[in-house]
Amino acid sequence: MHVVIVGGGIAGLTLAIALRRFGHTAAIYEQADELREAGAGLTVWPNACRVLFDLGLKDKLDAIAVEPPVQKIFHYRSGEELHAFERGTKMRADYGAPLYQMHRQDLHGTLIDAVREGDPASIHLSHRAVGIERTATGGRVVFANGAVAEGDLVVGCDGIRSSIRELVFGHEEPLFTNVIAYRAVVPAERLGDAFRADPTGIHLGPQSNFVHYFIRNRTAVNFLAFALVDTWEEEGWRIPATHDEVLARFGDYNAIVTDLIRAAPAEALFKWGLFDREVREIWSDGPFVLLGDAAHPMLPFLGQGAGMVIEDALILARAVTEKPDLRTALAAYQAARKPRANYALRTSREHGRYFNSHPDEGGSPGEALGHTLDLNDYDAMRVPI
Ligand code: FAD
């Protein structure tokens, strides 16, 4: 089978690697002029690590990842430890794969290298999909630059504002969640010893929270700071933010947080609005199918958005290999993935409810944040489909 993949994010790249692994060919068409992953850190849970290991990327991931021994929940103001989750060897013992944290660019770069090792010419930049047509044997994509690509299957891996989704199913606006996120990558050398000894943590505050963890061999710290707002007009992942703006919202947090914000290089502070969508009822139409955020973008509070995308890729590659025809394959893919994407989406939203609460007023964040470990059992290579 020859597959046209629209979008060169984590979804499109993982899919290309998985398809090749099963003997298919794939070409990726990406609208950007260069392959560059926006965003900073990423948590890759055991369910997603297992897929990437199965795709032959274990050594590369081991080299770019940090494995946190523990993840802690803190009170935003006092810094008091509210809960601690053992990770590290416990995750490996429980799930047979690690929990890794890494720079998005490092994962993206690893996936790009793996795609190019398989076929150096398979990634086409500056190709923005603007049209689709059916052909006698599959589907065709038309790009803004006038180029055309044909395949037995066309996969929309083009993210939350997917053009393929819109072209196949019509326009549906993503839902703004009234949450915005600030982020930065801070060189560890800019931080004091207190921070360097501190583990990966989440500080729960009133209608806000602040997440931080080490990346790049503990030479840098990624932070994400989530806050509620009434409206949001701007688009994109790389909207510059200022220290004053972040401190205006997080200035009453404990010193670990405020020091980290102050230590962020000015040019490394960004913000963006968080959107999600309901998971689509139907994911495919003839030779066109959606995968990843194009089908089910979700809030980041579970840290499983990319995990779901990575699992999708392996299941779709398996389905088109194991099933007798495309129609059965796409039905099997959707049946396997929709309930899981729905569960992850709903649980992410549920975790977001901490934005409407105060850490001093009831509830046990520890329990709530711990119970979703059940997602980690999933073995995408072996689960029956
Ligand atoms: P994208 O990464 O959006 O890639 C889509 C690609 O398609 C882009 O390269 C885009 O340029 C291209 N494209 C778009 N339109 C077109 C077009 N018309 N033609 C051609 N190309 C096109 N997940 C985790 O597992 N762990 C985490 O810790 C985590 N943290 C997160 C933190 C935040 C704040 C957010 C917002 C998300 C987080 N996620 C996390 C979720 C994860 O980042 C996403 O689910 C994942 O990156 C989606 O990958 P994708 O390839 O489907 O989409």
Both tokens of 9, joined, read: 């994010």
* Residue 303 CA to ligand 1 centre (angstroms): 12
Q: Give the pLDDT of residue 196.
A: 67
* Reported confidence tier of residue 364, pLDDT bands at 50, 70, 90: low
With CA atoms as reference, report the closest residue to 373 among 39, 87, 18, 84: 87
Q: Mind listing the pLDDT tens digit for each residue in 148-172?
A: 999 999 999 999 999 999 999 999 8
Which has more confidence, 134 or 205? Answer: 134
* Residue 158 CA to ligand 1 centre (angstroms): 8
Instruction: Give the residue numbers annotated as catalytic, written as ranges.
Output: 213
Q: Mind listing the pLDDT tens digit for each residue in 266-292?
A: 999 999 999 888 888 999 999 999 999
Q: E strands within 277-374?
A: 284-285, 288-290
Minimal-distance CA residue to ligand 1 atom 53: 159
Q: Mind listing the pLDDT tens digit for each residue in 242-254?
A: 999 999 999 999 9
* Reported confidence tier of residue 91, pLDDT bands at 50, 70, 90: very high
* Residue 136 CA to ligand 1 centre (angstroms): 32
Is the per-residue pLDDT at 365 higher than 70?
no
Q: Give the pLDDT of residue 131.
A: 98
Is the per-residue pLDDT at 374 higher than 90?
no
Q: Which atom of ligand 1 is nearest to the CA of 226?
A: 34
Q: At what angle do helices 10-21 and 104-118 cross, to 10 degrees?
A: 30
* Reported confidence tier of residue 22, pLDDT bands at 50, 70, 90: very high
Q: Is the CB of 359 under 6 A from ligand 1?
A: no
- The percentage of the chain sitting over the pLDDT mark of 70, rounded to a whole number, equals 93
Give the mean pLDDT of 362-374. Answer: 63
Q: Mind listing the pLDDT tens digit for each residue in 44-86?
A: 999 999 999 999 999 999 999 999 999 888 899 999 988 888 9
CB contact set of 74 (below 8 Å; sequence gap of 6+): 80, 81, 82, 201, 202, 203, 204, 254, 256
Rounded to 5°, angle at Cα 129 from 128 and 132: 165
Minimal-distance CA residue to ligand 1 atom 39: 305
With CA atoms as reference, report the closest residue to 233 among 276, 278, 176, 181: 176
Name the least confident of 39-48, 152-161, 371-380: 371-380
* Residue 142 CA to ligand 1 centre (angstroms): 22
Q: Mind listing the pLDDT tens digit for each residue in 178-235?
A: 889 999 999 999 988 767 666 688 898 888 889 999 999 999 999 999 998 888 777 6
Give the mean pLDDT of 21-28. Answer: 98
Minimal-distance CA residue to ligand 1 atom 43: 306
Phi-psi region of 88 (alpha: psi -120 to 50; beta: other; left: phi over 0): left
Mutational test site, ligand 1, from 158, 200, 308, max ligand atoms within 8 Å of CB:
158
Is the per-residue pLDDT at 323 higher than 90?
yes
Is the per-residue pLDDT at 370 higher than 90?
no
Give the mean pLDDT of 119-139. Answer: 97
Minimal-distance CA residue to ligand 1 atom 27: 303
Q: Mind listing the pLDDT tens digit for each residue in 288-318?
A: 999 999 999 998 888 999 999 999 999 999 9
Both tokens of 275, joined, read: 């959107």
